[in-house]
Structure 1
Amino acid sequence: MSIVVKVEEKLFQNRYKVDSGRPHISILDEDKCRNDCRERACIVCCPAGCWTMEGNGGVTVISDGCLECGTCRIICDEHRNVEWEYPRGGYGILFKFG
C-alpha cells in the first residue's frame, strides 16, 4: 500500500511572512512575456504556483507563498525577464520543519 501526498498538502505546512509593498519577484517587461515568450515555463515550473497565465496572454506573479528556490529566474534564462532577490530579513518562507 502506497501513501500519496499532494504537493499542496506539504506546502500548507510552511508559512510565509509577506513583506507588503516589497515583492521580491517581479516581471521586468510584461510585453516581453506576452509577445516573445512561447514556452511560459515559469507557469509550469514554479513548485509553489506563484506564476499564472492571464486571459490576455500575459503572465502574473504573486510572490506570496514563494519557496525562494529561484526556479523562475533560471527557467527564464533566454529572456532574462525576471527580477528576483531574497526577501528582507524576517520575511519570506518560514519552513515548519527546518
Structure 2
Amino acid sequence: MPVTHNRYRPATTPHIIPAEELDAGQKAQLVNGCPAGLFRYTADGGLTVDFHGCLECGTCRLLCDPDTLARWQYPASGFGIVYRFG
C-alpha cells in the first residue's frame, strides 16, 4: 500500500491577512468556511488567523469578495505544505 510523505515547513511571515474592517457576515464566512479552522474570533469580536496551519486550499479566497482579505498569496518557496504520495 502506498504511503504518504507530506511535509510541512511553517513560514515566518503571514501569507493571509484579513482586511482591517470586516462586517459580521464576512467574519462568519471565514470562521465557518476554513477547512483547517484557522480563522477565529477574538475576545473583543475581532478576527485572527493562524496562518501556520494553512492547507493552501484557497477556500477563504473563494468565499469572500476581494476586499475581505488584505493579502492572500502562497507561502514563499520551500515553506507551507508539500503534498507527496508514494
Report the TM range for the smaller structure's normalisation.
0.7 to 0.9
What letter matches 1:59 in structure 2?
Answer: L
Which structure has more RCO (C-alpha within 8 Å, separation ≥ 6)?
2
Unaligned stretches of 5+ residues in structure 1: 1-12
TM alignment of 1:1-98, pairs within 5 A: 14-20=6-12, 22-29=13-20, 32-33=21-22, 36-38=23-25, 40-77=28-65, 80-82=67-69, 83-97=71-85
Matching residue's letter, 1:58: G
Q: What count of residue pairs does the alignment treat as equivalent?
A: 80
CA RMSD of aligned residues (A): 2.0
- For 2:61 and 2:67, the matched residues in 1 are separated by 7
- TM-score, scaled relative to structure 2: 0.78
**Distance of aligned partners of 1:41 and 1:19 in 2 relative to their CA distance in 1, 3 Å threshold:** same
State the distance in 2 between where 1:93 and 1:38 align: 29
